[in-house]
Structures are given as C-alpha cells and as structure tokens.
Amino acid sequence: MSLVNSWEEQGNFLFKYRGQFPVLLFLLAVPFLFLTDMVNDRDQIIWNSLSVFFSIIGFLIRFYTIGTTPKGTSGRNTKQQIADYLNSVGIYSTVRHPLYLGNYLIWIGIAIFTYNIYFIVIISLLFWLYYERIMFAEERFLEKKFGEEYVTWSNRIPAFIPSFKNYTKTSIPLSFKSILRREYAGILAAVIGFSFIDVVRIYVETNILNFTPVVLWVLLISLVLVFFLRSLKHYTNILTDKNRS
C-alpha cells in the first residue's frame, strides 16, 4: 500500500473514533498530576483563567461552525465523510478545519488545568499526530469529490491557523437550535475532563477523593442541562431545524 493510501486509511479509521481522544487525555493526565508541584493561590488563578479561556474560545469556534453549517455539507459528520457541496464561506473562508481547531483549544484548556507545561506540550503533539491523519483523509475525500473547486479553495485557506484576508460572509443565519442539539455532549465531556483533573489533583494533595465546590456545582448544573437538552432532542421536535444536520 502506498504511503498516501495508508495515511488515508488511517485517517478514515481515526475519524470514526476521534471521540475517544479525550479518554486518552484523561488517562495521560493522571501521572502528570502526580508529578506536578503544588502552586500558590495566585498562580492557580492564572492557570485556571487560562484553561477556562482557551476552552471557551474553542467552544465558541465550534458553536459558530455548527450554527452556520447547512445540512449535507462537510461541516459535521460523525461516522464517515459526507459532503453534498463544499463549505467555503463564513468560518470556512478563514480556516479549513474549524471544528478541529475548536477541539484543540478545548482540550488544551483542560491540559492547562493540570498546571504542567510538559503535559500541555505532549497533548499538543499527540493532537497534531492524531488529527493530521484525519485532516489528510478528509481533504483527500473533498479533493476527489470536488476536484478543482476544492484545490482552488484549499490553496487560499490555511488548514489550522485562521487567516481573515479571504473572509467571505455567510448568508446562513446562526441556528441556536442546531448548537443546542449538537453540542451538549461535547460540553459535558469537557466539564467531566475538568472535574476529573480536579478530583485527581485533590487526591494527590490530600489522599481524599473530593471536588472543589465550584467544579462540583458546574458538573451538577451541566448534568441537569444535558439531561434536559437530550430529552428535548429525542422526545420532541423543539430543537429540530430542517435545514441543518
């Protein structure tokens, strides 16, 4: 098998299981938390603020992408590559893989919450190695399907670091229904990630399994909201938008 075909095959496989990447992050965080020195209150505030900031920015990127992506495009697929036509306006006129950029910022925010710079670097490298194959497979699919249209667009738009020089406004209105229907699971996963690191850190410092009050309340509120949104999605049409996937 040629290297190109091998990368494409690996990318398609990883694409199907990309939702399991957070599990790897959680497991790797444990030994780093045991090896991380305690920090003072001032430094904790800085670390915590940065971690929340990066994760929020990541979610805002995902929200905007999901909320302005029409049905049947290359915007958000779960099991296989799907695209009836090419996304090239809105956020896709600034970066080719906005959802993966959002994912990186979310999980790097959680990595920052460990207070360990080495863990942040390692997660960044693992994320790049993992998603590089996925992006390669996705772009191969789009190039085969859209040909010169895709090549012309991809030559102008960066893969991962946004550039606004070619920004083209989308005519698609932001769909809050689509965001609520699609993103609640990701929010819960991120909150669980923060909570997991919080519990492990407290255990390392005190040998007691416990939550800090703020993290515990955020987790409980998130669980209630997710249960509510999931119920709306599966048992009502309130969050249904016929023009969105």
Which position has the token pair 């929010």?
187
Q: Write down the domain spans for the chain.
A: 3-175
Interatomic CA distance for residues 134 and 88, integer angstroms? 19
Rg value, the chain, Cα: 19
Q: What pLDDT band is residue 52 in, cutting at 50, 70 and 90?
A: very high
Cα torsion 12, 14, 20, 22: sign? negative
Per-position DSSP letters for 128-145, written without gaps between them? HHHHHHHHHHHHHHHHHH
> What phi and psi values does residue 158 have, to the nearest 5 degrees?
-65, 155
CATH says 3-175 is which class? mainly alpha
pLDDT digits (tens, 9 = 90+) for 92-117: 999 999 999 999 999 999 999 999 99
Query: What is the number of residues in the chain?
Result: 245
d(CA 204, CA 33): 7
- Residue 143 has a pLDDT of 82
Integer Cα distance of 9 and 5 in angstroms: 6
Model confidence pLDDT, tens digit, residues 23-37: 777 888 999 999 988
- Look-up of token digits 């990368």: 7
How large a percentage of the chain has pLDDT more than 90?
48
Instruction: Give how far Cα 173 sits from Cα of 69, 71, 176, 183, 244, Å.
Output: 9, 13, 9, 17, 11
- Integer angstrom CA distances of residue 204 from 38, 41, 48: 10, 17, 18
Tokens of 197: 């690191």
Residue 188 neighbours by CB under 8 Å, 6+ apart: 222, 223, 226
d(C-alpha 73, C-alpha 224), whole Å = 32
Q: Which two tokens stand for residue 51?
A: 């971690």
Residue-level pLDDT at 82: 54
CA separation for the pair 12, 132 (Å, rounded): 11
- Please tell me the pTM assigned to this model: 0.87
